[in-house]
Amino acid sequence: MRYRRLGTSGLQVSELSLGSWLTFGKQIGDPTAEKLMKVAYDGGINFFDNAEIYARGESERVMGRILKKTKWRRDSYIVSSKAYFGTDSKLPTQIGLHRKHLVEACNDALKRFQLDYLDLYFCHRPDKNTPIEETVWTMHQLIMSGKVLYWGTSEWSAQEIMEAHMVAKQHHLIGPVMEQPQYNMFHRDKVEV
């Protein structure tokens, strides 16, 4: 497996990752998910991608159970989650990138994964209803509290990413280090920059 630096960080991630968007907790059972994760890990994949919205949080629970069962060293793999959509309810306090939702979504993801910290935490979509300053500050605080190591964006425009970097620089905060566009064998119209 080949590895590369994650965005502007020094973290080395496998060029391939195993995501659980359409599978874990929804279309396949735990035994199949475990086999997939073991094959991926044994093949050198160290990045396992997830999100609060995937199977309404069940995908993170499945992955967490598997990680606990395999007893892989915590420093040998990378786990990500994403926040924005919530898990089920669409109450205004349970979706978006405002401080309340980001903090509670992070805490909930940690419980579902049965982990002490997330390696990567993505803002799953831009939030026009929350000031970018609030989002950047909250992500900085999650890093400073030890709950998150790196944060990034998913499906943000170049302009939105630039604004986040400007806010972080202006206020001496930790900015995003990665962007995750939807890009795979079936969706190739967006290109990683």
List, as one string, the DSSP characters of 167-193: HHHHTT-----EE----SSS--SS---
Q: Is the pLDDT confidence value at 192 over 50?
A: no
Instruction: Report CA dihedral (178, 147, 86, 193) to the nearest 10 degrees.
Output: 0
**Alpha helices for 43-96 (secondary structure H):** 58-70
Annotated catalytic residue, options 3, 41, 54, 121: 54
Q: Report which DSSP code applies to 28.
A: B
User: What pLDDT does residue 20 have?
Assistant: 85
What CATH number does the domain located at 3-179 have? 3.20.20.100
User: What pLDDT does residue 57 have?
Assistant: 83
Burial of 181 (0-12, 13-18, 19+ CB in 10 A): middle
pLDDT in tens, 37-49: 999 999 999 999 9
3-state secondary structure of 97: coil
User: What pLDDT does residue 190 have?
Assistant: 65
User: What pLDDT does residue 113 have?
Assistant: 97
pLDDT in tens, 48-93: 999 998 878 889 999 999 999 999 999 999 999 999 888 887 788 8
Annotated domain spans of the chain? 3-179
Residues 97/84, Cβ–Cβ less than 8 Å:
yes
Catalytic: 54? yes
pLDDT band for position 191 (cuts 50, 70, 90) = low
The token pair that represents 174 in the structure block? 């930790």
